[in-house]
């Protein structure tokens, strides 16, 4: 406090040694400085934080709320990226090439979809308001300035349409109102230092100097704790389609958030197949990696003392839009590199007789079965997700194109093909796709990203984090084959499929030239009778290959549980903890409860994760009617009473499936307390049930099962009003099975390739007549026909 006065005294003493001080001039300058300080103080006080009781302006059906003095914000207050770049140059350069920056009408793919949606809404509703659902996360500037609601809105004359998500667009968000997504964020026009919008160069310099002199206020204004959470990303990376958009009912859209939340990666899922050594706390861990920088926001974040920032390119999977916009090649290369470790592909085994019940030779590499000419086989492929915290692919999973590309050769001769490209760049429709195949209400495929028409998924082939899928391919070895038979498989990705790109480009479409990225690949060579092939080593442990194969079979449904049991039995032989635990999963799915309990006991003795054991033990105890034991297991999970889990940063209280099971078990326990003498205990269990079910809804407000069970609880508590409310919400969020069946049946009848892909157990024919990229030799075709007619499929 005394330092300024000391400096002033020293200055006076210094000047006393020279000519006399001009006190009059000094007084004038001092008064001017004091006046300036007072003016700045008044200006700052007048820009106090918004009153907590301030009105929130909303943009239904989007869920964003804006706190300001007007329902429309000045565009200038939202578009300050150039100002931010004056200090934060590294961050600005990264952000300028991000998909956030190209989220709006400057993105040709998005522009096509949103303009079509606006046109459809104008025809149906005579206003485009329901399209705010898109704008709240893509077009903040047009939306918050009021321009987006104009039926005649022309993005070509609005600079805000080219702004994308600006710096203020994210950093003006002060809170997340719920985990519903659809823009569930609170936005406030940020407080700024004086002269932030002045056109006067001197006053601009004063503003910059004030920021540098006291950066703490600037940081506090623009960096909130919520910005570091996965919940922050949920506001725009979790979507539902409301009645206002589709005039039907609530439907779930893309959902990165719950996919991450219910994963082993986040450390919240109790029954993941695999877990990391440490839980990944948020989305930024992968999508905003630390990058060396001298930016003012850079910090030392490790023991080496190197300065770094979180990368604002937000690297992910969109290689399509940068290509359409002719961005520098390095921006696509960054995304290509990011994708490289998302999955693993394994040509795992060969089944005889071309059937899933045929004898299995596996794992391939160390074991190489000798193939017989003229025989039919199944090639078993496994796709496993790695280093990805949400489903593969998630996002726009209907237009994302992720598929398996297989080529089989006898020596140099091509004898089997799947996943090749056609003349216009389209992928063979009989290929295996890792996607979500969406239909409208009439049973037609959604291929224009027309969200207002999305109705149901014909199938969903997405793969959860740390999980796998198994794909069956049929191959008949030609009668004249001499070998070796080589199988080359690749998992390929392209941002937009050809159907959608045709719509985007219109008359300009010639060929789908979007970048194709190979995410994973594998190959194996197999001998034919009389030939010899050297054994091939694999980098993955044998137990893990068996385990991934079994996981893929387990996830396919009831039809292949016997094969999953076979795989996990092999795992238990090598890795008892994983094998026994996964056998327990299989037995539970089949209703073999005693064998489930036995397998859980073996898994516990072998050192399986105790939290997963507790989950399956609770399920089994419930089935046996031992509710108190089930409740005890579930309560241990909610409290994460496991030392190793706590050490690794896991928190199972966010697995809302556990909370719902606990609430349901407590409800059933309450019903066992009959009679007036047990009314108090009954009430206690019901209130506990209510508590945990409401906790589940805090995490997932749209969970149909939680609402259904709460309706039962409130009915027992003699609270008909709240019971009716939750029955209504259950009706809102449940699936309309009858309507879904009509649309699905219609499409399956009209599209043989999609009908085949939707089968619970689909076998993909590598020698299908008409397959892209395969001109089948006559003798191979004849052999295939004979085998097919014999019934050995």
Give residue 503's pLDDT. Answer: 96
Query: Which carries the bigger pLDDT value, residue 786 or residue 234?
Result: 234
Q: What is the CB neighbour count within 10 angstroms for residue 778?
A: 7
Of 216, 247, 278, the residue that ends a domain is: 247
Which residue is listed with tokens 């160390």?
Answer: 366
How do 763-765 and 468-476 pair as beta strands?
parallel
**C-alpha Rg value of the chain to the nearest Å:** 31
Q: What is the CB neighbour count within 10 angstroms for residue 3?
A: 7
* pLDDT class of 18 with cuts at 50, 70, 90: low
Nearest alpha carbon to residue 379 among 281, 474, 255, 298: 474
| Judgement on whether residues 40 and 72 belong to the same structural domain of the protein | no
Determine the structural domain holding residue 13 and report its residue range: 8-46
| Judgement on whether residues 19 and 42 belong to the same structural domain of the protein | yes
Q: How many domains does the chain have?
A: 3
Nearest alpha carbon to residue 578 among 601, 608, 612, 615: 608
| Judgement on whether residues 375 and 484 belong to the same structural domain of the protein | yes
Residues 375-400, buried b or exposed e (16+ Cβ, 10 A)? bbbbbbbbbbbebbbbbbbbbbbbbb
Q: 137 with 528: CB under 8 angstroms? A: no
Of 225, 247, 269, the residue that ends a domain is: 247
Q: Is 39 a residue whose pLDDT tops 70? A: no
Average pLDDT value for the chain: 91
C-alpha pair distances (Å), 370 with each of 201, 307, 425, 487, 527: 81, 58, 36, 14, 5
Q: Is 789 a residue whose pLDDT tops 60? A: no
What's the rounded mean pLDDT across residues 309-332? 94
Of 247, 279, 312, the residue that ends a domain is: 247
Q: 451 with 253: CB under 8 angstroms? A: yes
Q: For the whole model, what pTM was predicted?
A: 0.90
Question: pLDDT tens-digit profile of 516-539?
Answer: 999 999 999 999 998 888 888 889
Q: Is 613 exposed, middle or buried (0-12, 13-18, 19+ CB in 10 A)?
A: buried
CATH number for the domain spanning 419: value is 2.60.40.10
Q: What is the spatial distance between Cα 276 and Cα 349, in angstroms, rounded to a whole number?
A: 28
DSSP assignment letter at 441 = T
What's the rounded mean pLDDT across residues 52-80? 87
Q: What is the CB neighbour count within 10 angstroms for residue 746?
A: 15
| Tokens (6 digits) for 758 | 């939707």
Q: Which runs of E-coded beta strand occur in 376-430?
A: 376-385, 401-410, 413-418
Give the three-class secondary structure for 589.
helix
Q: What is the spatial distance between Cα 687 and Cα 691, in angstroms, rounded to a whole number?
A: 6
Q: What is the spatial distance between Cα 323 and Cα 336, in angstroms, rounded to a whole number?
A: 12
Q: Tell me, yes or no, whether 645 lies in a domain.
A: no
Question: pLDDT tens-digit profile of 286-312?
Answer: 999 999 999 999 999 877 789 999 999
| Judgement on whether residues 237 and 92 belong to the same structural domain of the protein | yes
Q: Is 430 a residue whose pLDDT tops 90? A: yes
Q: Is 53 a residue whose pLDDT tops 60? A: no
| Judgement on whether residues 491 and 386 belong to the same structural domain of the protein | yes
Q: Tell me, yes or no, whether 655 lies in a domain.
A: no
| Judgement on whether residues 509 and 533 belong to the same structural domain of the protein | yes
What's the rounded mean pLDDT across residues 745-771? 96
| Judgement on whether residues 234 and 376 belong to the same structural domain of the protein | no
Q: 422 with 428: CB under 8 angstroms? A: yes
Residue 133 exposure: Cα atoms within 13 Å on the Cβ side: 24
Which residue is listed with tokens 């070509």?
Answer: 156
Question: pLDDT tens-digit profile of 188-243?
Answer: 999 888 888 888 888 888 888 888 888 899 999 999 999 999 999 999 999 999 99
| Judgement on whether residues 91 and 30 belong to the same structural domain of the protein | no
Q: What is the spatial distance between Cα 773 and Cα 754, in angstroms, rounded to a whole number?
A: 20
Q: Is 23 a residue whose pLDDT tops 70? A: no
Q: Is 445 a residue whose pLDDT tops 80? A: yes
Give residue 30's pLDDT. Answer: 67
Give residue 14's pLDDT. Answer: 61
Nearest alpha carbon to residue 264 among 251, 252, 274, 256: 274
Give residue 783's pLDDT. Answer: 40
Q: Tell me, yes or no, whether 770 lies in a domain.
A: yes
Query: Of 57-71, 102-116, 263-277, which range is least confident?
Result: 57-71
Q: Tell me, yes or no, whether 580 lies in a domain.
A: no
Q: Is 625 a residue whose pLDDT tops 70? A: yes
Q: Tell me, yes or no, whether 559 lies in a domain.
A: no
Residues 267-292, buried b or exposed e (16+ Cβ, 10 A)? bbbbbbbbbbeebbebbbbbbbebbe
Ramachandran quadrant class, 365 (left: phi over 0; alpha: psi -120 to 50; beta: rest): left
CA–CA–CA angle 163, 168, 169 (5° rounding) = 65
Q: Is 463 a residue whose pLDDT tops 70? A: yes
Q: Is 441 a residue whose pLDDT tops 60? A: yes
| Judgement on whether residues 77 and 16 belong to the same structural domain of the protein | no
| Tokens (6 digits) for 763 | 């076998």
| Judgement on whether residues 88 and 189 belong to the same structural domain of the protein | yes
| Tokens (6 digits) for 464 | 């959860």
Strands across the sheet containing 763-765: 360-361, 343-352, 376-385, 468-476, 763-765
Give residue 29's pLDDT. Answer: 64
Q: 513 with 425: CB under 8 angstroms? A: yes
Give residue 41's pLDDT. Answer: 53
What's the rounded mean pLDDT across residues 657-661? 98
Peptide bond preceding 335: is omega within 30 degrees of 0, i.e. cis?
no
Give residue 735's pLDDT. Answer: 87
Q: Tell me, yes or no, whether 296 lies in a domain.
A: no
Q: What is the spatial distance between Cα 204 and Cα 211, in angstroms, rounded to a whole number?
A: 11
| Tokens (6 digits) for 523 | 């190959």
Give residue 37's pLDDT. Answer: 60
Question: pLDDT tens-digit profile of 81-125?
Answer: 999 999 999 999 999 999 999 999 999 999 999 999 999 999 999
Q: What is the spatial distance between Cα 350 and Cα 477, in angstroms, rounded to a whole number?
A: 12
| Judgement on whether residues 31 and 78 belong to the same structural domain of the protein | no
| Judgement on whether residues 214 and 355 belong to the same structural domain of the protein | no
Run of H or E including 30: helix 23-46
DSSP assignment letter at 402 = E
Q: Tell me, yes or no, whether 299 lies in a domain.
A: no
Whole-number percent of the chain with pLDDT over 90: 81
What's the rounded mean pLDDT across residues 317-345? 93
Q: Tell me, yes or no, whether 302 lies in a domain.
A: no
* pLDDT class of 778 with cuts at 50, 70, 90: very low
Question: pLDDT tens-digit profile of 167-194?
Answer: 999 999 999 999 999 999 999 999 888 8
| Tokens (6 digits) for 613 | 């054991």
């Amino acid at each position: 406090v005394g330092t300024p006065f000391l400096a002033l005294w020293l200055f006076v003493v210094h000047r006393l040694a020279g000519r006399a001080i001009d006190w009059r001039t000094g007084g004038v300058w001092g008064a001017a400085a004091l006046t300036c300080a007072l003016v700045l103080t008044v200006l700052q006080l007048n820009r106090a934080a918004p009153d907590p009781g301030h009105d929130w302006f909303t943009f239904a059906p989007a869920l964003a709320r804006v706190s300001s003095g007007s329902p429309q914000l000045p565009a200038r207050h939202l578009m300050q990226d150039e100002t931010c770049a004056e200090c934060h140059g590294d961050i600005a350069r990264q952000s300028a090439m991000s998909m956030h920056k190209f989220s709006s009408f400057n993105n040709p793919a998005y522009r096509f979809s949103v303009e079509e949606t606006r046109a459809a809404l104008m025809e149906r509703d005579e206003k485009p308001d329901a399209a705010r659902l898109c704008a709240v996360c893509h077009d903040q500037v047009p939306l918050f300035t009021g321009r987006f609601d104009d039926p005649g809105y022309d993005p070509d004359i609005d600079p805000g349409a080219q702004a994308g998500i600006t710096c203020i667009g994210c950093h003006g968000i002060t809170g997340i109102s719920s985990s519903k997504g659809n823009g569930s964020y609170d936005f406030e026009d940020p407080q700024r230092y004086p002269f932030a919008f002045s056109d006067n160069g001197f006053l601009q310099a004063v503003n910059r100097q004030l920021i540098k002199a006291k950066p703490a206020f600037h940081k506090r204004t623009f960096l909130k704790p919520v910005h570091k959470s996965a919940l922050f990303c949920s506001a725009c990376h979790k979507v539902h389609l409301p009645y206002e958009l589709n005039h039907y009912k609530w439907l779930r859209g893309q959902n990165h958030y719950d996919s991450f939340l219910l994963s082993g990666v986040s450390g919240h899922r109790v029954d993941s197949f695999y877990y990391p050594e440490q839980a990944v706390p948020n989305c930024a861990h992968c999508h905003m990696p630390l990058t060396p920088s001298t930016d003012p926001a850079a910090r030392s974040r490790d023991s080496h003392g190197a300065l770094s920032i979180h990368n604002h390119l937000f690297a992910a999977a969109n290689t399509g839009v940068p290509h359409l916009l002719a961005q520098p090649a390095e921006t696509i290369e960054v995304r290509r590199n990011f994708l490289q470790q998302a999955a693993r592909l394994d040509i795992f085994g060969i089944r005889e007789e071309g059937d899933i019940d045929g004898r299995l030779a596996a794992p391939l590499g160390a074991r190489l079965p000798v193939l017989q000419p003229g025989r039919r086989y199944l090639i078993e492929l496994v796709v496993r997700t790695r280093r990805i915290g949400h489903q593969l692919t998630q996002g726009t999973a209907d237009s994302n194109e992720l598929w398996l590309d297989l080529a089989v050769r006898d020596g140099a001769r091509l004898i089997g093909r799947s996943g090749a490209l056609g003349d216009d760049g389209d992928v063979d429709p009989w290929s295996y796709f890792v996607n979500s195949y969406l239909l409208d209400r009439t049973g037609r495929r959604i291929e224009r990203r027309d969200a207002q028409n999305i109705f149901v998924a014909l199938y969903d082939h997405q793969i959860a984090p740390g999980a796998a899928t198994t794909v069956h391919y049929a191959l008949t070895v030609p009668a004249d084959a001499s070998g070796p038979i080589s199988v080359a498989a690749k998992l390929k990705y392209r941002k937009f499929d050809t159907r959608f790109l045709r719509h985007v480009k219109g008359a300009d479409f010639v060929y789908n030239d979007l970048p194709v990225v190979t995410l994973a690949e594998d190959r194996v060579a197999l001998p034919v009778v009389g030939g010899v092939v050297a054994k091939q080593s694999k980098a993955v442990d044998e137990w893990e290959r068996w385990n991934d194969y079994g996981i893929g079979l387990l996830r396919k449904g009831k039809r292949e549980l016997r094969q999953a049991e076979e795989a996990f039995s092999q795992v238990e032989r090598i890795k008892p903890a994983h094998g026994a635990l996964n056998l327990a999963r299989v037995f539970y799915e089949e209703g073999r409860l005693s064998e489930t309990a036995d397998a859980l006991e073996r898994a516990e003795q072998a050192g399986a994760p105790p939290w997963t054991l507790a989950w399956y033990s609770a399920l089994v105890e419930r089935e046996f009617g031992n509710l108190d034991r089930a409740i005890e297991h579930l309560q241990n999970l909610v409290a994460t009473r496991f030392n190793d889990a706590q050490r690794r940063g896991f928190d199972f209280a966010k697995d809302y499936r556990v909370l719902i099971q606990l609430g349901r078990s407590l409800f059933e326990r309450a019903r066992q307390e009959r009679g007036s003498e047990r009314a108090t205990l009954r009430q206690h269990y019901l209130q506990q049930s209510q508590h945990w079910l409401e906790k589940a809804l805090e995490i997932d407000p749209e969970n149909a099962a939680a609402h259904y069970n709460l309706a039962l609880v409130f009915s027992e508590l003699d609270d008909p009003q709240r019971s009716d409310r939750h029955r209504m919400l259950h009706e809102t969020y449940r699936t309309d099975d009858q309507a879904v069946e009509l649309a699905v049946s219609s499409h399956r009848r009209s599209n043989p390739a999609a009908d085949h892909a939707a089968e619970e157990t689909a076998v993909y024919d590598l020698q299908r007549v008409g397959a892209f990229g395969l001109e089948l030799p006559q003798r191979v075709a004849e052999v295939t026909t004979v085998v097919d007619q014999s019934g050995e499929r």
